[in-house]
Amino acid sequence: MKYLLAWIRIVLCVLIIAFFITGLVIISFFFGKDIRRAFRIRRACVKILNAVLGYKIHTNGHIDPVHPAIYISNHRCFSDPILALQYFDFYPIGKAEIEKYPLIGFGARQTGILFVQRDNRESRNQVKEGMKTALQQGLSIFLCPEGTTNVAQTTKDFKLGAFDVAAELNIPIIPLAMVYHDPAKDFWIPTDSLIQHFIRQFGKWSTEVDIYFPERPFSSSDPIVLMHQCKEWIDDKLLSVTVPPEVAALAKYNLKV
């Protein structure tokens, strides 16, 4: 049954994404490209996708959107940015492989994304400059500073790059904590393919997740202080759901997915 449900959802997601991308392309053809219009269309698409995927989202706290800002979250699975996109408009930073995904890669390019080759220093530097340009234009950024998915109870060490940019440009950081209720099925388990992960997570009727919002943005002229403040805030929220030892133990593989 789980395979049937997962594949039905895959087909529905493809159709929904194709519908919205087609609409965006047609509108852009007649009225020109507008990134903020693309953001609005993307948010509408994401809300429908999250409903189709069976997400039951419980929000904790509230913060009004801030622009420009750097939004960050812990990284449990491929859909963390999708959840954040339901509430905020931003340029996500995603791994370069996403650009090759059929339909998804095209849609990501049309609605704003910065691709990075994580093992390529030049690519990382280019993305850092791209972040600065977007922020200086009043656009926000989203990234997962762990750099890859993580199955441990709390976050991995954060990469410093985004916090350097925030401190340099005096840009606030808004951390989000994604707390999934069923780690064994919701986390991207090391060695799983994208399809295996999708079936594991969305082959069940619903996926419950708590999303925590801070009361205020975080800011500091010291990037290291800023990084530790955000990490501690997220880690505190992650402790609300215990990760089973057999799942947390998989973190030792430290595999990139």
Confidence at 253, pLDDT banded by 50, 70, 90 = low
Torsion angle (degrees, nearest 10) of CA 106, 108, 114, 115? -50
High-pLDDT (> 70) share of the chain, %: 89
State residue 182's pLDDT score.
96
State residue 2's pLDDT score.
83
Cβ atoms of 207 and 54 closer than 8 Å: yes
CA–CA gap between residue 116 and residue 95 (Å, rounded): 5
Q: What is the mean pLDDT of residues 151-159?
A: 95
Higher per-residue confidence, 83 vs 114: 83
Confidence at 113, pLDDT banded by 50, 70, 90 = confident
Which residue bears the tokens 């929220």? 237
In CATH, 2-253 is 2.60.40: no
Q: At residue 254, does pLDDT exceed 70?
A: no
Q: At residue 144, does pLDDT exceed 70?
A: yes
Confidence at 155, pLDDT banded by 50, 70, 90 = very high
State residue 154's pLDDT score.
97
Is the pTM higher than 0.85?
Answer: yes
Higher per-residue confidence, 163 vs 107: 163
State residue 108's pLDDT score.
72
State residue 256's pLDDT score.
45
Reduced to 3 states, what is the DSSP secondary structure of residue 189? coil
CA–CA gap between residue 88 and residue 91 (Å, rounded): 10
Q: What is the mean pLDDT of residues 148-161?
A: 94
Q: At residue 255, does pLDDT exceed 60?
A: no
Confidence at 181, pLDDT banded by 50, 70, 90 = very high
State residue 117's pLDDT score.
64
Q: What is the pLDDT of residues 211-235, one digit of tens each?
A: 999 999 999 999 999 999 999 999 9
- Bridge partner list, 69: none
Please, what is the average pLDDT of the chain?
89
Q: Give start and end residues of each alpha helix (H) in the chain.
A: 2-31, 35-52, 80-85, 104-111, 121-136, 161-169, 183-186, 194-202, 223-238, 245-248
Q: Give domain limits for the chain.
A: 2-253
